[in-house]
Amino acid sequence: MEERLQKILSQAGVASRREAERMITDGRVMINGAPVTELGTKADPSRDNITVDGKPVTVEEKRVYILLNKPVGYMTTLKDPEGRPIVTDLLKGLGVRVFPVGRLDYNTEGLLLLTNDGEWANSLAHPRHEVDKEYLVRVRGTVTREQITRLEQGVELEDGKTAPARVAVTKQSDNNTWISITIHEGRYRQVRRMCEAVSLSVVRLRRIRYGALAIGELKLGEYRRLTPGEVAALADGRKRGRR
């Protein structure tokens, strides 16, 4: 079935619709070997050969939604020039190409969503939807009330002040403290940088919740498919915004 070209690129996970429109007007997209620059152009991905920068675009007919408990030491990309392990290496037997929704850095573990539904992924990752993401952070030493207040109110980073966060101490000893931090932004290494900004040294960082989804009892390196109800609940939470 024919669809607008920017919708096809979004569904394939190439880019958001707005970014796809720029790709088209910049002449980076071709259909059956011919460049396309008109935004109203339609194509049928099951019949037409669509490429972006010379690379073929494939739209999977069956939508797949995965929750992975990412271990430390895996890159949240589809390939790594340094040859480090990537998260899709953990999805043996899946049989479908998927890509990550957002990122967790190399030294961060926990809940990561993957899918082949580009529009769903792009909408979840868009800042305006303010999807809550909860992290458990182990830091060295004790945490003061002043440090918690600063994290809650937002801290100045090199790319601007962070939005207010929800912060709570979950366990504390003389040597280490576990704190829960819930944010709805998605800046690069944001939680680590927030902690550094208030002089907290991060020892371990785990994402345990994304919107309505929790990591539960899933072991490190394991994954499962989301149920239709979970996919719908996450989408519903996205539409209503942050509670």
**C-alpha span between 177 and 179 (Å, rounded):** 6
Active site residue 236: no
Contact 202, 138 (CB under 8 A): yes
Report helix, strand and coil shares of the chain as percent, to nearest 5: 25, 30, 45
Catalytic residue among 44, 48, 53, 105: 105
End-to-end CA distance of the chain: 38
Q: Supply angle C-alpha 35, 38, 39, rounded to 5.
A: 120
Q: What is the DSSP string of 171-186?
A: EE-SSEEEEEEEE---
Tell me which residue of 9, 22, 226 sits closest to 122, measured CA to CA: 9
Tell me which residue of 81, 14, 98 sits closest to 51, measured CA to CA: 14
Q: What are phi and psi of 138, to 5 degrees?
A: -100, 125
Catalytic residue set: 105
